[in-house]
Amino acid sequence: MAKPKDTYYLTAHCPGNLGTVDVITSYLREQRCYVVEMQTFDDVVSGHFFIRVEFRPPSDTVFDEAQFQQSLQPRAALFAMQWELATAAQRPNVVIMVSRLDHCLNDLLYRYRTGQLAIEIPAIISNHPDLQRLADWHHIPFYHLPVNDDNRAEQEAQVLNVIQECEADLVVLARYMQMLSPQLSTALTGKAINIHHSLLPGFKGEQPYHQAYDKGVKLVGATAHYINNDLDDGPIITQGVEVVDHSHYPEQLTAKGRDIECITLARAVHYHIERRVFLHNGKTVVFTS
């Protein structure tokens, strides 16, 4: 369900000290803001505190965001608090990257079209032309940027140029089957989400579900994470898993795995755009909905 447009997200983190909750809640009460949802986490290992508040300002006055932030700043500074204010009315720009597999792209486009994901999609980038018609049907610009070992640097420069021109708030790798260079990964730190299958034991290379079938796996799943320079090893946002058994042949394992990938990726995007994810010390704090 889409959030009311007068909904705001206030997120903050700081060293854990007495009064960290009160500095936020007291200020919201003074500003006559109604708290819809609040989640906190005090990390006893790192000594760091996290808070996310979803609120609505008073309906009988015009909400002055600049004044709200200016007045909050000195109070937050007393706790060395880093904070951000965002509004549900602003739909973030999400650029999607994809290769030939279309299940995650289809799912994201459906959720976008039906309003389940409050985003704008200014561009779809692919290293193959196969999904051009799908993008055209949704009236979304499609950029076919082929890549090989000889033109990788040039292609990634084109990719980054599209992302920047679209003023993308987030990049989603919806089964984009190419490794990103360290340079592009660094440029997209904290603002690019990848999805991949999760099988135990792990199977790399081609036909992972056939390998899983040969080993008789009992669980299939998927992991959505922020990208970094290590392949499929970035900070995890969401994971999904389902039980399987001997009756699941490679085709059934593949189908089930793709379903989990779609759900897991969509959930990660949802959490990101609603400011539910904090990056800290190489991993995430995620306030689920």
Q: Is 244 in contact with 220 (CB distance < 8 Å)?
A: yes
Q: Which of 232, 233, 245, 259 is catalytic?
A: 232
In sign, the C-alpha dihedral spanning 193, 270, 170, 235 is negative
Which residue, 83, 87, 66, 85, is CA-closest to 23? 83
The residue to which tokens 């010390």 are assigned: 281
Sheet strands side by side (includes 93-98) = 142-144, 120-126, 93-98, 170-173, 192-199, 219-226, 236-243
Q: Is 149 tagged catalytic? A: no
Q: What angle do CA 197, 199, 95 make, to 5 degrees?
A: 10
Burial call 48-87: b when 16+ CB within 10 Å, e when fewer: bbbbbbbbbbeeeeeeeeeebeeebeeebeebebebebbe
Q: Residue 263 and residue 117: Cα distance in Å, rounded?
A: 12
Q: Where are the alpha helices (DSSP H) in 78-203?
A: 103-113, 132-137, 152-165, 182-187
State the catalytic residues.
232
